[in-house]
Amino acid sequence: MSSMILGIDEVGRGPWAGPLVVGAVVLGDAAIEGLTDSKKLTKKKRDALDILIRDKASGFGLGWVPAEEIDAIGLSAALRLATRRAVEQVKTPYSEIIIDGTINFLSDTSKGQYVTTLPKADLLIQSVSAASIIAKVARDNYMALQDTIYPGYGFTHHVGYGTATHRTAIEKIGVTPLHRLSFAPLAKYRPDIAATTVIKKAPAVAQTTKQIGDAAEECAAGHLRGLGHDILARNWKTKFCEIDIVSLCGQTLYFTEVKYRKNAKRGDGLEAITARKQQQMRFAADYYAASHKLKGVAMQLVAIAVSGQPPAVDTYLEIE
């Protein structure tokens, strides 16, 4: 059945900053009008279709690879990794896999033999169109959040691409952890080159306690995305407890508490997650599942320790 095609498309191959995101969608019997290449749609239309796809599709997944990982393994390997991460989240049966483009990013997996590559598939195959839309909306929203964490770059507008505005900001302010230093235009900012080159440093930006906390949570959320999580809620509150991040990976719901310390040497902050705090988290997780009518779903409590400025993840701990 053509409706059981797993469509795959990527967003963010060429930007100088931000993650690579791959979308994977099985539409099933969903009839959604207006699906096409995400780049041919207005933001308003993409956002509306994104909601419909997530609500009506038989299955979907998003695979994230952050800039640091792209620099470590290279763009080609990152594309394969992001594709695997996206596909692993799709539990709906499908009869065929179509990847937009000419490269089979699953060729080194057991699913590779079922793949058809097709240039312009995001224009021709609805499930691939849907994949391109959810990937672009997710990435664009993520980059818009970065404006509050790294002001002055205009990430909301160029979403990391090498525009003149972006280039000027880098020359004036410096680079961030979002920037892909393996890309040729930014090579001079690599630590091994910077040691012998005079480079402008990004000035320290005074931040409020809330901004620091938000940056730490976004860092943790980015780490979870890199592990294949789809972020469902941020700062979800009950009367007794607030969960910093609620996410879904595979068929498991994750409830994450983020703890930040300015300096990792002062402790990773996880000591603050006491037995009482864990009990509160479990109550909140149960309440979330009940309020969203989720029965029999697997749930996992997680603690993430973040430190430094800009923030970086020190510890990821699954709580028994």
How many domains in the chain?
3
Q: Is 102 exposed, middle or buried (0-12, 13-18, 19+ CB in 10 A)?
A: exposed
| pLDDT score at 24 | 96
Q: Is 71 exposed, middle or buried (0-12, 13-18, 19+ CB in 10 A)?
A: middle
Residues 15 and 104 in one domain: yes
Question: What would the two tokens of residue 84 be?
Answer: 């695997």
In a domain, 187, yes or no: yes
Residues 21 and 120 in one domain: yes
Query: In angstroms, rounded to a whole number, what is the distance separating the alpha carbons of residues 239 and 28?
Result: 39
Q: Which structural domain, as residue segments, surrounds residue 186?
A: 151-194
In a domain, 273, yes or no: yes
Helices (H), 22-163: 43-56, 67-73, 75-88, 121-124, 126-149, 155-158
Residues 6+ apart with CB under 8 A from 9: 22, 23, 38, 99, 100, 121, 122, 128, 129, 131, 132, 135
Domain termination residue (choose one: 135, 160, 194): 194
Residues 6 and 135 in one domain: yes
Residues 29 and 44 in one domain: yes
In a domain, 281, yes or no: yes
In a domain, 174, yes or no: yes
In a domain, 161, yes or no: yes
Give the helix/strand (H/E) hosting 168.
helix 164-173
The pTM (predicted TM-score) of the whole model is: 0.67
CA atoms within 13 Å, Cβ hemisphere of 76: 4
Query: In angstroms, rounded to a whole number, what is the distance separating the alpha carbons of residues 112 and 239?
Result: 48
Residues 126 and 32 in one domain: yes
Residues 176 and 302 in one domain: no
Of 275, 270, 279, 232, nearest to 253 by C-alpha is 232
Give the helix/strand (H/E) hosting 256.
strand 252-261
In a domain, 203, yes or no: no
Task: Name the CA radius of gyration of the chain, rounded.
Answer: 20
Question: What would the two tokens of residue 70 be?
Answer: 């792209």
Residues 8 and 139 in one domain: yes
For residue 258, the domain's CATH number is 3.40.1350.10
Query: In angstroms, rounded to a whole number, what is the distance separating the alpha carbons of residues 123 and 65?
Result: 25
- Give me the residue label for tokens 């902050």: 269
For residue 75, the domain's CATH number is 3.30.420.10
Residues 301 and 226 in one domain: yes
Q: Tens-of-pLDDT digits for all 320 residues of the chain? A: 456 999 999 999 999 999 999 999 999 888 899 999 998 999 999 999 999 998 889 999 999 999 999 999 999 999 999 999 999 989 899 999 999 999 999 999 999 999 999 999 999 999 999 999 999 999 998 888 888 888 899 999 999 999 999 999 999 989 998 999 999 999 888 876 654 444 444 544 556 677 777 778 888 888 888 777 888 888 888 777 789 999 888 788 999 999 888 765 545 556 667 888 888 888 988 888 888 888 778 899 999 988 876 677 788 888 87
Domain termination residue (choose one: 133, 162, 194): 194
Residues 78 and 29 in one domain: yes
Residues 160 and 229 in one domain: no
In a domain, 202, yes or no: no
In a domain, 204, yes or no: no
Domain termination residue (choose one: 164, 194, 224): 194
Residues 130 and 184 in one domain: no
Residues 219 and 127 in one domain: no
Question: What would the two tokens of residue 161 be?
Answer: 């691409």
Strand pairing report for 298-307 and 252-261: parallel
